[in-house]
Amino acid sequence: MPTVLDDIISGVREDLDVRQRALPFSAVQQLATDAPAARDARAALTAPGAVKVIAEVKRKSPSKGELATIPDPAELAAAYAAGGASVISVLTEERRFGGSLADLDAVRAAVDVPVLRKDFMVSEYQLWEARAHGADVILLIVAALDDPQLRDLHQLAGELGMTALVEAHDEAETDRAVDLGAQVIGINARNLKTLEVDRAVFARLAPRVPETAVRVAESGVRGRDDVADYVASGADAVLVGEALVTGGDPREAVGVLRGGATA
């Protein structure tokens, strides 16, 4: 039985084929080479101070359906940055998440903080493409990649000056991320094979991640209490989508998650 993740990835591969026919590998490499250098996301995530928020531009998801229309992703990203977000995450997967590379371009142009291209990366082409569109961080989902692919893509991210956020959701995947030498490791409370959210997963897996790596708690944050719980379990950063796109003022909402005003 194919999992949700398998289904998403087959759609991602079809869409990738179309883009790759329109813009050959050498052309996307040239665009990436010509792009301004990537910003240092690891530095942004390890700066002193409160928990770091990675705020996500997310229109819909396979688990929740439509979340928000987000007519102006640049405006939303600017509000996140003004609220103190350390990194802006932009979903670029179209079919299930309603994102696009145009959203990434718009956000890149609107903020100075590092930007994460959030997608299902399965080929080197997508990393060059991310860099060509100004991404500073890419997501590598351990569950979607075998070890040679993971190593290859992780190494290429570094060569392109980007940070890889390496995502795991169980013990074996976390150990694979650590063995890879990943410096930024995300523990996703949402299992991408079943879409179930279990916030306790972070506390269970975080101790397997060395202190030297940035620990990112992903998914399921409803408010400041969930952030505080993740921090108590060792999170350096939280990645938040739904609560920010469905809540009130996004600038204020990021501030609240960081531990500021309790609105």
Ligand X SMILES: O=P(O)(O)OC[C@@H](O)[C@@H](O)c1c[nH]c2ccccc12
Catalytic residue positions, numbered:
56, 58, 118, 167, 188, 218-219
- Reference 174, options 158, 192, 188; nearest CA is 188
Q: How far is the CB of 169 from ligand X (least distance, A)?
A: 9
Q: Does 218 bind ligand X (CB under 6 A)?
A: yes
For ligand X, the closer CB: 134 or 220: 220
By CB under 6 A, the count of residues binding ligand X is 15
Contact positions with ligand X (CB under 6 A) in 148-177:
167
Q: How far is the CB of 219 from ligand X (least distance, A)?
A: 4
- From the list 19-27, 31-39, 170-178, 233-241, the region that binds ligand X by CB under 6 A is 233-241
Q: How far is the CB of 118 from ligand X (least distance, A)?
A: 6
C-alpha dist (Å) from residue 177 to 5, 141, 149: 18, 9, 12
Query: Do 50 and 254 contact (CB within 8 A), yes or no?
Result: no
For ligand X, the closer CB: 167 or 173: 167
Q: How far is the CB of 235 from ligand X (least distance, A)?
A: 12
- Site map (CB under 6 A) of ligand X, residues 108-147, x = contact: ----------x----------------------x------
Residues that bind ligand X (CB under 6 A): 56, 58, 118, 141, 167, 188, 218-221, 239-243
